[in-house]
């Protein structure tokens, strides 16, 4: 589809009309809409919303209730409803299983939805973090309103740094330059104006200079305009489908775990169906029992436990100066093994100091400072630390009057704003005598490439072939010391406005030298990241020598460095190899930062990007987890998954640790529960092949899982061993199947021992000394079956609950590593409660009954033996696979 065809018809129509006609057609004026008109416009054209993830309740509902785990449970619930309620006779109808599973889905989704809303509210309270507002004139009064309250016909004001909140026909501009990277994916900066367009067929949307679109960003200048389209009618609204979101690493991991469970079901269910069908002769009963096997294999509380882990982790991180805007990002935060960041403000202080202003040979030059001051003073783009440092020169002793007079002598005519590809800014000024001067400042190499002459002590000299060597002789030592150096150039022009074509044959005047000291905590923070096995990589637009100097001071390996110009010469395959050995990338454009991130991801890394500026936004969009700070530009904060309330890597380290704790506790539940369930189901399959009755009923299997999973809800508050959070962990199902196959059969060994004890010793001793096949009395047979099922029910529960302590840690449980107090208490409480259940009337409803006290001595011996064998097997597993949880 041609992108121009996505433009709202009003946009195309009014781009070619005079402003008076636009005002007339929309019933508005430069004084804005009236209150009555606003309501009419909103009803006619809709609200300014495209259903983005941050403000749509439907999106949050979908994410809370629809995921691979809940889908599996929902399918099981529906099949249970059909087989247990609709197919059986009225006497045997049972809707319990379907109700219990449905309640689990509802509780899990509700917990997640509540936490999602809490997380959103927490970030909403920091208005600057995610709320965009705009200046609007209504009824002749300029007011500040939230962007979502805009309507077609509103008269709005734009300035540098603003997100453009709707599709707009410009009515007035002053050096207005915008970035449409969010729409086009290109980092080029475009100049806009308010001139009427002549009619042109098949005009691309980017060619309309008097239109600007939702999602674009004002880089510099000012503008005014009329809102022509809002919400889904905008160009951006056509590109972004409501609730569309790329599959995150969390969702991919969840999907892989769900598929492991599905594969186990696909194998076990047919086996159980065939075995029980042949041995019992009742195929309908066999089908219902095989269904209960599927239910028993599935950790029904998995969505709830995962959600609780994520929610608890998010709450804990908020206490550590970190706001999680998307709780799914918790997993990526903990799994991150590469952190990319710009050095400015992260390793160095936000503010920098102007140290020297020198001519081309290194002598102090007030002329260089004066021209740089004028350039920064009239730069209408987003203010940056360099401009702020230059403008602070007016606060020098006895200089206030001088710089005030200088500003009065030179007036601004035009400018070409800073561009991250050009790396310099040009300002056209005029003095009191009518002379026009183009002043350029920026990156040394880029400014030098535009110069044909140098000026020294009033003399104008042509640049010779070894001119770059002369520059190096003056500034290289300063660059090696970590100072930032920019060049200043000028030339006289007889023009009132300028284009990039005029930026040539400039006269190089000299340099400004700045010092940006590393933060005192930077070196310590880098060491902590390395200890967490998170590799820091610097992606900066700064000069290579500056980046190297800073990295050496803070302890980042910088034996190899890759500059933007060298990066362009590498193929994608070569870049994938280079990024593994390189930690410092300098002189990069925003698009080059994205290339580096993509190469790291293709190599299998989970990559985080910490950014706070406009040039960081493309890379933040590409990263697995995007991190920003509360002092960042609004655009960066708006797309960030994680927001740090302090611009300090120590805060980041605490967040990573909390993310890993969350991840470890999720893995405990998933691995331990899945392997334990698999062992129980495998035992039931074995028993079903030999027993003349079902070893457990479907409702008993479901209740067993429900009780166990309910106890596991406390796992998010468990302690985590230091070695389990010392390195990033992968969130996927790759190792789950291996864990299940290894530890599941161990529990089956003791299940089978229990099965033999129950069938040949306990049950006969309480049934007249006869085996089941020797019994003739139906009542005694039922008692025999109930005794057997109760004994196995208790053994399964005891082993499942206690095995958590065995497999939650690589160390010796209870001695070298203790579970948290809540986990210990819930373990004891759970065993007492569930064992006590068999002594109540409720037991009869579940087909259970009271067992003699001496059985519990046997049960204790079995459980201790199981725990000892599991501990021994655990050490073998760790030795072989170098991991546990």
Catalytically active residues, by annotation: 342
The Cα–Cα gap between 333 and 331 comes to: 5
| 158 φ/ψ angles, rounded to the nearest 5 degrees | -120, 145
Q: Do the beta carbons of residue 818 and residue 824 sit within 8 Å?
A: yes
Residue 84 DSSP symbol:
I
The interaxial angle of helices 544-554 and 522-531, nearest 10 deg, is 70
The Cα–Cα gap between 246 and 621 comes to: 11
Write down the residue that tokens 């949880």 correspond to: 885
Cα–Cα distances in Å, from 375 out to 369, 429, 456, 541, 807? 10, 9, 20, 21, 65
How does 820-834 read in b/e, with b if 16+ C-beta sit within 10 Å?
A: beebeebbeebbeeb
The Cα–Cα gap between 460 and 438 comes to: 16
What angle (nearest 5°) sits at the alpha carbon of residue 175, between those of residues 169 and 177?
65
Cα–Cα distances in Å, from 92 out to 81, 83, 89, 412? 13, 11, 6, 89
According to the 3-state scheme, what is the secondary structure of 106-128? HHHHHHHHHHHHHHHHHHHCCHH
Q: Do the beta carbons of residue 438 and residue 506 sit within 8 Å?
A: yes
Give the number of residues written for the chain: 885
| 725 φ/ψ angles, rounded to the nearest 5 degrees | -120, 15
The Cα–Cα gap between 759 and 771 comes to: 7
The Cα–Cα gap between 359 and 369 comes to: 10
Q: Which residues, other chains included, contact 203 with Cβ-Cβ below 8 Å and sequence gap of 6+?
A: 4, 12, 197
Long-range pairs, 428-435, Cβ under 8 A, ≥24: 428/493, 428/495, 428/496, 428/497, 428/498, 429/374, 429/378, 435/492
CB atoms within 10 A of CB 835: 15
Cα–Cα distances in Å, from 813 out to 824, 857, 870, 875? 12, 22, 11, 12
Tokens representing residue 614 in the block? 């406009």
Cα–Cα distances in Å, from 539 out to 385, 418, 575, 600? 18, 19, 14, 13
* Nearest to 483, CA basis, from 396, 565, 542, 420: 542
The Cα–Cα gap between 753 and 851 comes to: 18
* Residue 354: strand pairing partners: 514
The Cα–Cα gap between 818 and 176 comes to: 63
* Nearest to 317, CA basis, from 619, 68, 625: 625
- Run of H or E residues at 367: helix 366-377
Q: Is 878 helix (H, G, I), strand (E, B) or coil?
A: helix
* Nearest to 357, CA basis, from 445, 438, 441: 441
């Amino acid at each position: 589809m041609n992108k121009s065809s996505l433009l709202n018809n009003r946009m195309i129509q009014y781009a070619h009309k005079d402003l008076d006609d636009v005002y007339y057609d929309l019933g508005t004026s430069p004084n804005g809409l009236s209150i009555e008109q606003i309501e009419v416009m909103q009803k006619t054209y809709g609200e300014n919303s495209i259903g983005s993830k941050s403000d749509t309740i439907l999106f949050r509902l979908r994410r809370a209730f629809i995921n691979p785990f809940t889908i599996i449970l929902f399918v099981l619930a529906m099949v249970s409803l059909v087989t247990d309620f609709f197919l059986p006779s009225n006497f045997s109808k049972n809707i319990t299983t379907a109700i219990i599973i449905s309640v689990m889905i509802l509780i899990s989704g509700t917990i997640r939805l509540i936490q999602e809303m809490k997380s959103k509210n927490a970030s909403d309270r920091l208005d600057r973090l995610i709320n965009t507002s705009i200046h609007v004139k209504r009824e002749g009064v300029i007011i500040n309103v939230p962007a979502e309250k805009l309507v077609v016909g509103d008269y709005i004001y734009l300035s540098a740094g603003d997100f453009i909140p709707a599709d707009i026909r410009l009515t007035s501009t002053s050096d207005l330059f915008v970035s449409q990277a969010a729409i086009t994916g290109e980092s080029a900066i475009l100049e806009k104006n308010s001139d009427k367009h002549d009619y042109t067929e098949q005009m691309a949307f980017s060619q309309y200079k008097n239109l600007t679109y939702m999602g674009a960003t004002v880089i510099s200048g000012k503008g005014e305009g009329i809102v022509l389209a809002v919400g889904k009618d905008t160009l951006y609204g056509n590109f972004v489908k409501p609730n569309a979101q790329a599959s995150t690493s969390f969702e991919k991991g969840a999907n892989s775990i769900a598929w492991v469970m599905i594969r186990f079901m696909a194998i076990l269910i047919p086996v159980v169906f065939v075995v029980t069908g042949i041995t019992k002769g009742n195929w309908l009963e066999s089908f219902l029992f095989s269904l209960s096997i599927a239910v028993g294999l599935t950790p029904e509380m998995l969505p709830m436990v995962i959600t609780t882990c994520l929610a608890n982790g998010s709450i804990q991180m908020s206490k550590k100066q970190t706001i999680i805007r998307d709780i799914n990002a918790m997993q990526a935060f903990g799994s991150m093994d590469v952190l990319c960041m710009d050095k400015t403000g992260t390793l160095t202080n936000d503010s920098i100091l102007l140290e020297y202003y020198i001519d081309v040979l290194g002598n102090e030059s007030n002329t260089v400072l004066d021209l740089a001051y004028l350039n920064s003073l009239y730069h209408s783009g987003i203010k940056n630390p360099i401009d702020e440092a230059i403008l602070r020169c007016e606060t020098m002793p006895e200089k206030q009057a001088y710089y005030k007079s200088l500003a009065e002598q030179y007036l601004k005519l035009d400018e070409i704003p800073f561009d991250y590809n050009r790396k310099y800014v040009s300002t056209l000024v005029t003095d009191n005598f009518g002379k026009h001067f183009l002043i350029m400042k920026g990156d040394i190499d880029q400014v030098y490439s535009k110069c044909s002459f140098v000026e020294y002590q009033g003399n104008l000299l042509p640049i010779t072939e070894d001119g770059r060597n002369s520059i190096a002789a003056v500034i290289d030592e300063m660059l090696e010391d970590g100072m930032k150096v920019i060049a200043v150039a000028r030339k006289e022009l007889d023009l009132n406005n300028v284009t990039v074509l005029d930026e040539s044959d400039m006269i190089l005047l000299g340099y400004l030298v700045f010092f940006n000291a590393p933060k005192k905590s930077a070196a310590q923070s880098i060491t902590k990241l390395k200890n967490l096995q998170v590799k820091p990589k610097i992606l900066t637009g700064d000069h290579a020598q500056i980046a190297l100097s800073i990295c050496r001071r803070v302890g980042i390996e910088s034996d190899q460095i890759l500059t933007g110009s060298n990066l362009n010469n590498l193929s994608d395959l070569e870049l994938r190899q280079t990024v593994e050995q390189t930690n410092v990338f300098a002189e990069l454009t925003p698009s080059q930062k994205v290339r580096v991130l993509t190469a790291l991801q293709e190599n299998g890394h989970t990559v985080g990007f910490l950014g706070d500026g406009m040039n960081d936004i493309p890379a933040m969009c590409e990263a697995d987890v995007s991190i920003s700070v509360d002092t960042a530009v609004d655009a960066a904060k708006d797309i960030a998954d994680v927001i740090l309330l302090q611009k300090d890597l120590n805060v980041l380290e605490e967040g990573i640790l909390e993310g890993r704790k969350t991840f470890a506790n999720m893995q405990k539940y998933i691995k331990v529960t899945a392997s334990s369930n698999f062992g129980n189901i495998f035992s039931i399959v074995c028993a079903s092949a030999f027993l003349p009755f079902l070893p457990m009923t479907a409702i008993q299997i479901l209740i067993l899982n429900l009780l166990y999973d309910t106890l596991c809800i406390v796992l998010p508050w468990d302690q985590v061993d230091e070695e389990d959070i010392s390195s990033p962990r992968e969130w996927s199902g790759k190792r789950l199947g291996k864990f299940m196959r290894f530890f599941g059969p161990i529990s089956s060994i003791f299940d089978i021992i229990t099965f033999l004890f129950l069938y040949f010793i306990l049950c006969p001793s309480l049934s007249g000394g006869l085996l089941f096949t020797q019994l003739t009395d139906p009542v005694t047979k039922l008692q025999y079956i109930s005794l057997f099922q109760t004994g196995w029910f208790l053994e399964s529960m005891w082993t499942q609950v206690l095995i958590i302590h065995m497999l939650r840690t690589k160390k010796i449980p209870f001695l070298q590593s203790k579970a948290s107090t809540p986990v210990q208490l819930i373990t004891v409480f759970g065993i007492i409660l569930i064992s006590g259940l068999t002594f109540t009337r409720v037991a009869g409803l579940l087909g259970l009954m009271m067992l003699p006290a001496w059985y519990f001595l046997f049960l204790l011996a079995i459980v201790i033996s199981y725990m000892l064998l599991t501990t021994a097997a655990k050490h073998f597993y760790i030795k072989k696979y170098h991991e546990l949880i």
